[in-house]
Amino acid sequence: MELILNRSLQSFVCQLHANELPIRHLFAHVDKTITGPRSLTGEIRKSSAGCEKLSVVSSTPIEITLWEVTNKKDLSTDQLYLMEICEVINCCHCRESLSKINPGKVCHSRWLRIANRILSFNVADENSSEAFLTLTAFVTKVYASMWFKIKTKP
């Protein structure tokens, strides 16, 4: 097939979708109660459901390096929220208005929103469980970093 197309089959896979595979696997491993391809019913999903209603608390900063996005107008609302919430976690200073933004309805096919909810809950909960801290570290250091790298240099 590669010889016929004269290109690698790997290039047919969207890199942004491929970036979601590790977070899906980690989420399933940590939450342990995904009941099907379209449902998230575990404790982490239930805990993060009302994250926009919680107030901001101080948390330990997580040092991350995001790729510089030159044109923020090209970003969707979810993408812009991910960038801003990662910057908050990096410097540990959150505007109250950012914490009150609803990161969107949880949908199994929208892992960007799930990542946003995890990070939003981290900003609002000072007693996060070990599972939440693991997911937060992964989302900020791996998922978001790769996401913006792919977005800026496809």
How confident is the model at residue 141, as a pLDDT? 87
Are the C-beta atoms of 86 and 144 separated by less than 8 Å?
Answer: yes
Who's near 58: CB < 8 A, 6+ residues apart? 92, 126
How confident is the model at residue 79, as a pLDDT? 84
User: Tell me: the pLDDT tens digits for 71-86?
Assistant: 778 778 888 888 888 8
**Would you say residue 95 has pLDDT above 70?**
no
User: Tell me: the pLDDT tens digits for 13-49?
Assistant: 677 777 777 887 787 777 766 555 555 566 666 666 6
Domain membership flag for residue 86: yes
Domain membership flag for residue 138: yes
Domain membership flag for residue 147: yes
Number of structural domains, the chain?
A: 1
User: pTM of the full predicted structure?
Assistant: 0.69
- Structural domain including 142 reads 6-32+66-152
Q: Which of 101, 117, 119, 122 is nearest to 57 (CA)?
A: 122
Domain membership flag for residue 56: no
Domain membership flag for residue 40: no
How confident is the model at residue 85, as a pLDDT? 80
State the burial class of residue 86 (Cβ atoms within 10 Å of its Cβ: 0-12, 13-18, 19+).
buried
Domain membership flag for residue 53: no
Winning range, highest mean pLDDT, from 1-5, 38-42, 50-54: 1-5
Domain membership flag for residue 49: no
Domain membership flag for residue 38: no
